[in-house]
Chains A and B, each alone.
Chain A
Amino acid sequence: MRILVCVKRVPAVGSRINVTDDGQQVDTAHLGFTTSPHEECAVEEAAQIVEQLDGDEHAVVVLTLGPEASTEQLRYAASVGGNEFALVMAEGGLDWDPQRTAVAITSAVRELEAAGGQFDLILFGNESADGGNFQVGIRVAHALGRPIVNGIKGIDPHERGFTARRETDAGYEVYELEAPCALGVKEGINLPRYPTMKGRLASRKAQIQVLDCTADVDAGGQSRVRLHRPPERASTTVQLGDSAAAAPAVVDLLDELGVL
């Protein structure tokens, strides 16, 4: 089985996110980068699926679109179960609009499949941690003619395809997809492993294929004007009391939140 996981490099932010003076980007001067959390789970899920299979013809292929620095996320994926790696080189690609991103990834997937065969499953994160456009995976899957369901919190591979679970308020919905197909997964589907020390060291040797397929990709209709922080809220801690007499107020809160 070959599974493709599409991941995005995003800044590892604190509770306050600064924006560059020109308003075009998150100010990452103090920040490190990480893999967008849903996609970190997608890599883990792919690794778990492949690890359960017999034979060694299976592979988790990890693809990202972004600047050269995005190899950091591919190497991380290499340290937590990824086998093959592709960088769709796009300086500034982290801030591309979703249509443009989807077109570039679609052509990258076609290129990978032309060389290495069709992917049985393509995993996306439900949405990226930064842009949160909720559409790239769906656009790519549609362009490739594959069914996709988003919001997946459980995947079971079987003979013909995959059983996927999507969380609802009451429990979960079950979908049955035939391979080849795509799924958008959500954090909580698993607890991603951390890299082992050996895994980290081995990841340095991972071969990364660089794909240059973004030249003709046009910008989509959504265009950034600027990023900005919402107005600061004053200290928001609501003190419910300073003694056991606060209990009714606490229970009111629990009631309001619907957990009572």
Chain B
Amino acid sequence: MSAVAVLIDHDRGVPSGGALEALTAARSLASDLNTDLVAVILGDGDLFDAHGADLVAACADYGAAVVHCGRHSFLADYGPDAWGTALAMFVEAAGPVAVVAAGTDRGAEAIAQLAARTDLPLVANCVNVSPASSLADAPSGPAGGDAWHITRIQWGGSLLEDVTLTSTLPLLTIAQHSIEAEPCEGGPVPAAVADFEPDLGPEVQQTLVRDRVTLAEGVTLSTAPVVVSGGRGVGSADGFAPLEELADLLGGRVGCSRAVTNNGWRSHADQVGQTGTRIAPEIYIACGISGAIQHWVGAMGSKNILAINIDPEANMVTKAGYAVIADLHEVVPAICDEIRRRRDRPS
């Protein structure tokens, strides 16, 4: 029976969060199509020896009836060509009705490699998928006539795009965080394991991960996971001391606004903004920064923003996801104390 197949993207045996979201979304799609959900995992013997059981169990938790394990020595680690070729062979052999992957770096890349190899359309970052009604009625497989109706994200989520997909084999990625990963309600299904051995030529080796480097010490402003920034409200060059302390505690860097460099409190290298550095940390902690647009342009790539400001109407506060409306000179030391207190606490 033709199933909905999900590529489980994993890093050396550890599935990505996106893979579980993709499983969740694909399970619902399979249900719409009145067909099975199957998973595809690529690895080599060692990887399956070490992680196979866990991976299969995870897939079973999420409702995969069959877990297809593609085994090859070139699949010992990730490589887009290796994964793409293996996937294409799986598709050729198993004939799924749809292939779904996570909208992660690897998921998106591997399924795009599949799309390139098969010259099939690929709809990326889907948030809602409605298969053609005739498909749902015809479990034997896509008749090729009717289109699927899909909503996907554009502009990083600022816009949605409704598209139709006309394809003999729909390929999809699921937008990350658009769905919560949820195991099957009734507990794990009994998942069958089906091994297959893709025929991979040496040409796929060129794009295999060749080496890994753990991030060196000393992050830069543009790459720091945490940036603690100060503005005019810091008041002086010395006023940055608690901000330095907080940044140190979090392994981050200290930035500043243009007013600060204009006042000579910090060097231009620390300036975040249109005319300084553009940053994209996990969290941007903006202390006493009003949020002039030039500054905002540099900071808006941040994944989360915490504004600490005495003015609740400050631009930075209204644009931030989180705010503390208080004097930064009191709040920042209190945060440092709290972090130290928790770290000192025996676990």
Q: Interface residues, chain A, CB within 8 Å of chain B?
A: 13, 15-17, 19, 26, 97-99, 127, 129-135, 138-139, 141-143, 147-151, 165-166, 168, 170-178, 181, 187-188, 191, 220-230, 235-248, 250-251, 253-254, 257-260
Contacts and interface: CB of A to CB of B under 8 A. Distances in A.
Query: In terms of DSSP, what is the predominant structure of the interface of chain B?
Result: mixed
A227 B334 contact: no
Bin chain B's interface residue count: 35 or more
13 contacts: A15-B300, A131-B154, A141-B116, A173-B212, A238-B321, A239-B325, A240-B306, A240-B323, A244-B330, A247-B337, A247-B338, A251-B339, A254-B283
Nearest to B301: A187
Contacts of B46: none
B121 interface: yes
Contacts of A227: 154, 159-162
Contact of B324 (A17, A132, A220, A241): A241
B81 A147 contact: yes
Contacts of B342: 251, 260
A126 B324 CA distance: 36
B89 to A, nearest CB: 16
Interface in B100-145: 103, 105, 108-109, 112-113, 115-117, 119-125
Nearest to B116: A142
Contact of A222 (B123, B153, B277, B278): B123
Contact of A240 (B81, B124, B280, B322): B322
Most buried by A among B155, B203, B252: B155
Contacts of B333: 244
A139 B112 contact: yes
A132 B121 contact: no
Contacts of B113: 138, 142
Contacts of B1: none
Contact of A134 (B160, B161, B173, B251): B173
Contacts of A168: 11, 212
B326 interface: yes
Contacts, number: 236
A247 B335 contact: yes
Nearest to B296: A15
B52 interface: no
A50 B212 CA distance: 26
A156 to B, nearest CB: 12
Interface string B201-225: 0010011111111111000001101
Given A222-B123, A248-B338, A251-B342, A175 B210 contact: yes
A224 B209 contact: no
Interface in B214-244: 214-216, 222-223, 225-226
B167 interface: yes
Nearest to B216: A171
B226 A259 contact: yes
Given A97-B121, A237-B322, A242-B324, A258 B155 contact: no
B207 A244 contact: no
A168 to B, nearest CB: 7
Contacts of A175: 207-210
B174 to A, nearest CB: 12
B206 A230 contact: no
B250 A224 contact: no
B38 interface: no
B339 A229 contact: no
Nearest to B250: A259
Give 8 closest A-B pairs by Cβ, nearest first.
A221-B121, A142-B116, A247-B334, A174-B211, A244-B334, A135-B112, A225-B162, A171-B215
